[in-house]
Copies of this chain bind each other. A is one copy, B any other.
Amino acid sequence: MEPAMSVTHEDRAAATTQAPVPDNSPDSPAAVRVSFDTEPGRYRHWRMSVDGPVATLTLDVAEDGGITGGYELKMNSYDLGVDIELHDAVQRLRFEHPEVRAVVMTSGMDRMFCAGANIRMLAQASHAWKVNFCKFTNETRSGIEDATSCSGQAYIAALNGTAAGGGYELALACDEIVLIDDGSSAVALPEVPLLGVLPGTGGLTRLVDKRGVRRDRADVFATTAEGVRGDKAVAWRLVDETVKARDFAAAVQRRAQAAVERSNRAGQATPGQANGISLTPLHRDIDGDVTRYDHLRVEADRGAGTATIVISGPDGPPASLDALHADGAAAWPLAVVRELDDAILTLRANEPGLGTWLLKTEGDPAAVTEVSQFLLAHREDWLVNEIIQLWKRTVRRLDATSRSLFALIEPGSCFAGPLLEVALAADRQYMLDGEFHDSAPNTREAPPAVIRLDEFSLGLLPTASGLTRLGVRFTGSQADLDAATAAAGQDLEAREAARLGLVTEAPDDLDWDDELRLAVEERASFSPDALTGMEANLRFAGPETCETKIFGRLSAWQNWIFQRPNAAGPAGALRRYGTGQRADYDRKRV
């Protein structure tokens, strides 16, 4: 068993993808442009098949399909590109295949389910690349769990071979794990003993917090490179069942059928709306530092270190539920959130120097509210539910983004419904009090900005902790939370929004430009690392869950270890793995 673990690759067929050049120099710029565009016809590493209510995702990694040179994706090891395809597949199953109620995840290789992230890639990747890769991988795994809990699509890991490292972590993200009993295939987390790093894409957290593995057994397991199999794997709760090869397929199918039967997915409820919609390619025009999508644009200002994300509001709600289904991916509430998700991922991967994101909207808040009311009225429809859940996951990506987020609420903006959650996810909210009196851009002729709270902020889009963003915001005061909640449905101008604690600052026209400029300049003058650490603490007041522990506790420890010479130094375990030389550890505990 070679627990190969890989970190970065991508669909080479994607037009905008270029090979990244990861490196260990902290000063060198990101030399790669990563694209998250793909679709099943272009997958190199996964196969997706759908048979009625059961889909199968088969991992069969193209060894030469790594996103960079310098390593081969042997033993079904993966890198970012493999995970980009997986993320795409999970997403499409929800939107394009509403009939699917169970997903079997298995391997096209003999005796190897997945060997985890590719180690050669990990060894050569920069610190930033490793961290960003792990974050995306974690988000994709959380997305798998979300598909079950919110869409009735259960995932069954059918381990027809060994699942090691990130391979077993992928299985841990599934609802059920079936391991073949062939006398050799095992589940394993060899990161600590072999690589000097953690099973950091959810492994340690899910072992004890999701599967309820006893902590002392988890300690033994996570330090046993060869892993555990057979009855012991079941007794230790590492897998749900082990099955002889001859019965394996049937056992997996039984579990899939059982999952189908208990699914609450509202797939085929309404005739004529039973069919999936197609997630068509996103339109994207890149013009220098401006990227324009259909409903969103991103403006980079490299001097200031900012990315301004401007989201355009809708013209109005869909004419009917039928119309929404007919419009599919072109419908505003879905189109715009896909664009926002892509903008977040693209900026994270490709623009580390843009440390502050300015979040803006343009449009009619009343039209957003109409869309919001439409979605709320039809939330039992499977497609509407998927759209709402994608908003939820996308705003959570903002919560987990290591950039400073400022929402700018100006005349002409439309922060209502789900767009207001984008503002509430920000570290600060600046709202202009009154109108712009100068004669500058078009939007400056609009009436005073308003924000409007509705069900999207009151429960539809919970944070990873389970609290709403309002709940996190007002963790210190139930009275403040009640007052804000009572203001739902009202158009709130700046002073009222400030009085209710919904915005941070409400400068008037005289102060607006200076105050924002100073805030942005000040942010750019601070240590980017300290900001990342600060934001990762202040954004997560309140309870913690498996998901928040993975992005907080586990990821922070892994990032620390990724910086330590024992892992990443020239004599560290990551760099020496496979060279025949043992890692040379500084034995002192910190």
On A, residues with C-beta under 8 Å from B are: 26-27, 29-30, 127-128, 131-132, 191-193, 195-198, 204-205, 207-209, 211-220, 222-223, 237, 305, 352-355, 402-403, 426-429, 472-477, 501, 504, 522-544, 549, 552-554, 556-561, 563-567, 572-573, 583, 585-590
Contacts and interface: CB of A to CB of B under 8 A. Distances in A.
Given A216-B428, A588-B528, A537 B557 contact: yes
Contacts of A543: 543-544
A528 B590 CA distance: 8
Contact of A559 (B355, B501, B560): B560
8 contacts: A128-B588, A216-B428, A527-B572, A527-B583, A528-B586, A543-B543, A544-B549, A556-B560
Pairs of residues from A and B, 10 with the lowest C-beta to C-beta distance, nearest first: A212-B476, A196-B527, A556-B556, A208-B541, A533-B557, A544-B544, A352-B588, A204-B537, A552-B553, A216-B504
B589 A427 contact: no
Given A472-B215, A554-B537, A305 B532 contact: no
Contacts of A192: 526-527, 530-531, 534
Contacts of A222: 534, 538
Given A192-B530, A192-B534, A223-B534, 8 more contacts: A197-B527, A204-B538, A208-B475, A215-B472, A402-B590, A527-B561, A527-B564, A552-B556
Q: How many copies does the complex hold?
A: 2
B402 A207 contact: no
A209 B542 CA distance: 6
B220 A504 contact: yes
Contacts of A196: 526-527, 529-530
A308 to B, nearest CB: 16
B590 A352 contact: yes
Given A534-B219, A552-B552, A560 B590 contact: no
A305 B193 CA distance: 17
A354 B208 CA distance: 27
Given A198-B533, A208-B475, A553-B553, A585 B527 contact: yes
A581 B302 CA distance: 24
A27 B584 CA distance: 12
A197 B531 CA distance: 9
A195 B339 CA distance: 37
Nearest to A203: B537
A590 B27 CA distance: 12
Contacts of A29: 588
A553 B537 contact: yes
Most-contacted residue by chain B among A132, A213, A554 (CB, 10 A): A554
A137 to B, nearest CB: 16
A192 B193 CA distance: 36
Given A216-B427, A589-B403, A553 B538 contact: no
Contacts of A429: 216
Most-contacted residue by chain B among A237, A538, A566 (CB, 10 A): A538
Contacts of A128: 588-590
Contacts of A590: 127-128, 131-132, 352, 402, 528-529, 532, 559
Contact of A563 (B305, B530, B549, B563): B563
B563 A564 contact: yes
Contact of A193 (B127, B209, B353, B526): B526
A67 to B, nearest CB: 19
A223 B533 CA distance: 13
A555 to B, nearest CB: 8
Contacts of A501: 214
Nearest to A524: B587
A534 B218 CA distance: 10
A110 B526 CA distance: 31
Nearest to A429: B216
A590 B134 CA distance: 11
A14 B173 CA distance: 53
Given A556-B553, A556-B560, A209 B353 contact: no
B472 A532 contact: no
A529 B474 contact: no
B476 A237 contact: yes
B567 A527 contact: yes
Contacts of A560: 529, 533, 556, 559-560, 563
Nearest to A542: B209
Contact of A527 (B131, B474, B559, B566): B566
Contacts of A527: 192, 196-197, 561, 564, 566-567, 572-573, 583, 585
Contact of A530 (B197, B353, B402, B541): B197
Contact of A587 (B305, B472, B537, B586): B305
A128 B587 CA distance: 12
